[in-house]
Chain A
Amino acid sequence: MSDAPTKARTEILISGFGGQGVIRMGQILGLAAIKQGHRVTMLKSHGTETRGGYVRAQLVISPEYVDSPVVENADVFVAFSAPAYKKFFDFCRGKILYDPEMVEAIRPDAPERHVAVPATALAKERFNNVLFANMVMLGALTRLGGLDVEAMKKAMLEVIPRFHEQNLAALELGYTLPAVVPA
C-alpha cells in the first residue's frame, strides 16, 4: 500500500460474531493489498453457524511470498466482540481497535494501544443498519494503518455487490473519525 507496510510482514487479526462482516472486511483489505502488488494470505475460522457464531480472519500482507499464514503477533487487532477480545488479546503486540458497544471492558494495561471505534453505534445512527459497522471499522483501520483509502474504496466496490453509496459513506465516516485522525 502507499506508505505501508514498510517491513516485510504485516499481520492483521479481525474477530467477532458471525454476520458482522469480519470476513468481508478482511477480503477488502487483502484485495486492496494485492492490487498494490503485495502477497496476501487470509485464514478464516468460524463456527458452524452462519450468524451469531464466532469468526476470525487472520491476514498476512507482505511484499514477498508469505510462508506461515498464521497470525501469532498481530500488528493490528480488530475486536468486534467481547469474547473475541478476550480470546485473542495475547496474539497482538500492536494497536487494538475495538467496538465499545460490543467490548465494554478493556484491559487496564496498555491503554495507549487501544482505540475505541464506535462502529456499531455509528452504523445504527447514520444508516439505521448495523450491517455498515464493518465499513466504519475498515475506514478507521485504513486511516490508522496509513493505508491508501482510494485503493480500499476500489477494492470494496469490487467485493460488495450492493449498497455502494452507504458503504462508501460508512468507510469515509470511519476514515475521518477524530479517534483515528492524527492530531
Chain B
Amino acid sequence: MSTLEIGVKETLVAPWPEWARRATRGRRLLEAGTYALTEGAIAAGCRVFAGYPITPATDIAEYMSKRLPQVGGYYVQCEDELAGMHACAGASLGGLKAMTATSGPGFTLMHDAYGWAITNEIPLVVVDAMRVGPISGITGAPGQGEFYIARYASHGGNFETIVLSPSSVQEAFWLTIDAFNLAERFRTPVTILTDQVISDMWEDLFVPEDYDALDFVVPRRHNLMMPFYPVGSADLDVPPNVIGHGTGVCVSAYTHTEEGYDIEEMEAQWAQTYRLINKIRHHRDQLTRYETVGVEDAEVIAVAYGANARTVKTGVLEARRRGVRAGFVRLITLWPFPDELFARDLPYVVCELNYDGQLVREVMRSAPDGRTVRFMGKSAELHTVAEVAAGLEGVARNGRVPELPYIWTEVR
C-alpha cells in the first residue's frame, strides 16, 4: 500500500531532494544509520570527532575512528562526554568542522559544553541517538525522551537551539550535511536528535561518489578580526571565529562584549541575548523542514517524528483505506518549533515514544484549540500500524483514542 495507491498528496520540505537530484553518481549500499550519519559528516567536511562511546551511538565513534584518518582528520577518544564536546568546541575554534555523538545519558553530560558553544557562537554538530529512559533505560530500545532537553541543552535561558530529526538511513545522510551547513551559517551547535531504531537499522543508502563535488556544502570560513560577536544583530553567515591563523579570540561563559570581554551591564546582556535568540528566530523560514501526507482534505492529522514516523505514516494510509480522511505531519525540524504546521482547527493525534508527553505539549500550544489534540504515547517500541489506524479511526468517529495496551493517552 503506498501513497500513490491511496491517491493522497505527499510533500517534503527540505533541501535534500534537490541535492539528490544534483548528486546522481554514487553507490547504493545496505548500511546502518550510524554509517550514514558518519558519511554525511565526512561529506560535509567534518574533520574532528571527539567523544565517548555509548549504545546506540558507539558505531558512529567506531566508523569515525576509521574514516577520519583517511581524510586527514582527527579522532579523539575522550575520558567522558563533557570532555568530548569541549574538545569539539576547541577543534571548531581551531578552524575545523567537528562532531560528537552520544545517547541520552551522555547528552545531559554535555550541557556545560553546549552552553559554551552557544554563547561563543561555535559551530558544531551533536548527535543524540535516543534510547528509552529514564536515565539508562534499555540500551537497545528506542525512546523520544530528549525533545525538550535538546531545546534546553544548556542552563540559564536566553538562547534558541536548532534540532533536526531524520526518519530514514538515507535522510540521516543528507540531514547531517544540512546540520553542518546550518551550524556554519548560524554559528551555533546543531543537534541531530535521532533514535535507536534509525541509528541501528540498516537500509538502502545512496552515497555520492565525490564528496568534493558537493557544491551545496557550506565551507568553513574564518573570521580574522573584530568584532568577534556581532551583538545586537540577527545576521546570518557571519564567518566563525578562529584561533591559530595569526588570530585569537576571547571566549567566555559570561555575558560578553563584541570583543568577547566579560561585562555586567544590562545593555550588553540585552544585546547578546538579542543576537543569540534572533539570529535563529528571525530566520525560521530557512530552518523549517517537514513532510506531510494527505493533509489537504484531512479530518484528523497524525503527528510524529524520527523512526516512529515510519509506522505512523503506514498507519495513516491504513486509516485512509478504512475510510478515515487521515493526514500526516512528520516534523524534521523540531526546534525552533514549527507552530505554523498546526494552524488548522482539527484534531491532531500526536504519536511519540514517551509516556510523559513532550511533543504533544507543543502541538497543544500551537493548535487553535489545544483541547482537540490527542496523545498516543508509547515507550521502547515503535507504534504498530494497527495501533495508529485504530487511534485515528477512534478520534475521527468518536473523538477519542480507544484504550489500547501500552498506549498512554493522558496529558496533564
Contacts and interface: CB of A to CB of B under 8 A. Distances in A.
Interface of A: 8-9, 26-27, 30-31, 34-35, 38-48, 64-70, 72
A48 B54 CA distance: 13
A72 B387 CA distance: 12
A38 B168 CA distance: 16
A27 B30 contact: yes
22 contacts: A8-B2, A26-B202, A27-B30, A31-B30, A34-B28, A38-B204, A39-B204, A40-B202, A40-B204, A41-B201, A41-B203, A43-B200, A44-B200, A46-B140, A48-B139, A48-B140, A67-B317, A69-B197, A70-B382, A70-B384, A70-B385, A72-B385
Contacts of B4: 64
A34 B313 contact: no
Contacts of B201: 41-44, 69
A45 B139 CA distance: 11
A149 to B, nearest CB: 19
A40 B140 contact: no
A166 B306 CA distance: 41
A43 B33 CA distance: 11
Contacts of A40: 30, 202-204
A72 B388 CA distance: 14
Given A48-B139, A69-B310, A27 B384 contact: no
Interface string B374-385: 000000001011
A34 B30 CA distance: 7
Contact of A42 (B30, B311, B315, B317): B30
Given A34-B30, A46-B140, A72-B384, 9 more contacts: A39-B204, A41-B201, A41-B202, A42-B201, A44-B200, A44-B201, A69-B311, A70-B311, A70-B384
A67 B313 contact: yes
B355 to A, nearest CB: 20
Please tell me the size bucket of the interface on B: 20 to 34
Nearest first, the 10 closest Cβ-Cβ pairs linking A and B are: A68-B314, A42-B202, A68-B311, A67-B314, A31-B30, A30-B30, A67-B313, A34-B204, A41-B203, A40-B204
Given A34-B30, A67-B317, A27 B140 contact: no
Contacts of A69: 197, 201, 203, 310-311
Interface string B28-57: 111000000000000000000000000000
Nearest to A64: B2
A66 B3 CA distance: 11
B213 interface: no
B321 to A, nearest CB: 13
Nearest to A58: B201
B266 interface: no
A26 B32 CA distance: 13
A27 B313 CA distance: 25
A21 to B, nearest CB: 15
Nearest to A47: B140
B87 to A, nearest CB: 28
Contacts of A47: 140
Contacts of A46: 140
Nearest to A73: B385
B29 A34 contact: yes
